[in-house]
Amino acid sequence: MLKYLIEKEFKQIARNPFLPRLILIYPLVVLLIFPWAATYEIRNINLCVIDNDHSTYSQQLTDKTVSSGYFRLTAVEPTYTQAMQQIASKRADVILEIPPHFERDLINQQAAGVLIASNAVNGSVGGLSSEYMSEIVTDYSSQIRQEWQQTGKGIPPAPTIEVISQNRFNPFLNYKLFMIPAMMVIVLTIMTGFLPALNIVSEKEAGTMEQINVTPVPKFTFIFSKLLSYWIIGFFVISLCFLLARIIYGFAPTGHLSTMYAFTGIYILAVSGMGLVVSNYSDTLQQAMFVIFFFMMMLILLSGLFTPVNSMPQWAQWIAAFNPLKYFIQVMRSVYLKGSGFLDLIPQFSALAGFAAFFNLWAIISYRKSN
């Protein structure tokens, strides 16, 4: 009986004019486009310089800033007001103002100041760009100090702590490698979480549910056939994602494929179960769509996809502990980048298995053949 039910599911999907194309094209588009968009790497910050000193030092400082690779000199303005105009019209992001007598003060009084003003509408970008700029300025001052030391003015050397930083697993800090595994999770979630949610409801709306209800199919078998179909689709989608990551980005997992497939299997059960529960409780497609959309939005935002979960306040971390996406994103990232094995990820596996059991039991209990 199960075999025919699954055959029915696949025929229903294949004969829909839209779904087969969606299943093929959506992963492609997501993996091809979005890793390029999701990046915090800050480069090419537009810089506006106000040089009130016009000295060798002020010129050197400007040159050093531009050659750092982070900044792009887009404007030179005579006054602060005019520079603010540049910021308002988005032609500049950061202002560097060098005060008059900068060089003279530095030589005579051994100290001088500069003003760095950055557009902080996006707080983290504004903060980072001003930090980069401060670092360049500090660097420049130690560069001058060294030049003076070499001329032998007798400045004592200070004890130095040498800091060596090492970036494990992703030495070139490639942000795409971080986003691609997580993007796969999103694709899989949408394919195996959204679609089952819409599935039962659309049978209700089309009236075909009525027909199933009068057949001898037990409810467990019926739910199971739906689950199994999405399970197969899910495996197809995730394999497609692995393949695309390999072909487009030359990105192969450090860990074992088998670990990822094992987690994929349990994860699909969890999200499909969630989708089925929603569809059992909804009367119309529109309702189902909105409810799942609402939850999906929250789950994605609290999953650590874009922002680290550890930085959230405690209450939000508690909510995130009930988020299957969070665990699967952790798993995919660890296996892809760090080569974590199954044994390292036991907590995540038990959490996902718990979700899968919970949602599917709920789905079976809440599905009623009689109205």
Partner 1 sequence: MKQFLTFVQKEFHHIFRDHRTMLILIGMPIVEIILFGFAITTEVKDSKVVILDSSHDVATRHIIDEINANKYFNVVEYIHNSNDIQHIFQKGEATLAVVFEDHFYETLLHTGKAQIQLIADASDPNTATTVTYYANRIIADYQQTLMVQNNVPYQITPNVKLLYNPEMKGAYNFVPGVLGMILMLICAMMTSIAIVREKETGTMEVLLVSPIKPIMIILAKMVPYFVVSCFNLCSVLLLSVYVLGVPVAGSLFGLILVSLLFIVVSLSLGLLVSTLTNTQLAAMLVSGMVFLLPVILLSGMIFPIENMPVWMQWLSDIIPAKWYIQAVKALMIQGLGIMNILKETGILVLMTIIFIVISLKKFNVRLE
Give whichever of 316 and 361 is closer to partner 1, judged by the CB atom: 316
Q: How far is the CB of 44 from partner 1 (least distance, A)?
A: 7
Give whichever of 85 and 219 is closer to partner 1, judged by the CB atom: 85
Give whichever of 4 and 322 is closer to partner 1, judged by the CB atom: 322
DSSP codes of every residue in 284-322:
SHHHHHHHHHHHHHHHHHTTTSSS-GGGS-HHHHHHHTT
What is the sign of the dihedral through the CA atoms of 278, 282, 285 and 289?
A: negative
Q: How far is the CB of 178 from partner 1 (least distance, A)?
A: 6
Structure tokens at 326: 């969070």
DSSP state of 342: G
The separation between the first and the last C-alpha atoms of the chain, rounded to the nearest angstrom, is 24
Q: How far is the CB of 174 from partner 1 (least distance, A)?
A: 7
Give whichever of 118 and 229 is closer to partner 1, judged by the CB atom: 118
Contacts of 233 (CB under 8 A, 6+ apart): 13, 23, 191, 192, 195
How far is Cα 280 from Cα 198, in angstroms, rounded to an integer? Answer: 10
Give whichever of 157 and 216 is closer to partner 1, judged by the CB atom: 157
- Cβ of 275: how many Cβ atoms within 10 Å? 29
Q: How far is the CB of 210 from partner 1 (least distance, A)?
A: 16
- Cβ of 123: how many Cβ atoms within 10 Å? 8
Residue 7, CA distances (Å) to 12, 106, 113, 228 in order: 9, 81, 75, 11
Q: How far is the CB of 276 from partner 1 (least distance, A)?
A: 16
Q: Do residues 364 and 219 make contact, with C-beta atoms less than 8 angstroms apart?
A: yes
Q: How far is the CB of 222 from partner 1 (least distance, A)?
A: 20
Give whichever of 16 and 211 is closer to partner 1, judged by the CB atom: 16
Residue written as token pair 């004019």: 17
Q: How far is the CB of 17 from partner 1 (least distance, A)?
A: 8
Identify the CA nearest to 75 among candidates 60, 56, 90, 53.
90
Give whichever of 82 and 141 is closer to partner 1, judged by the CB atom: 141
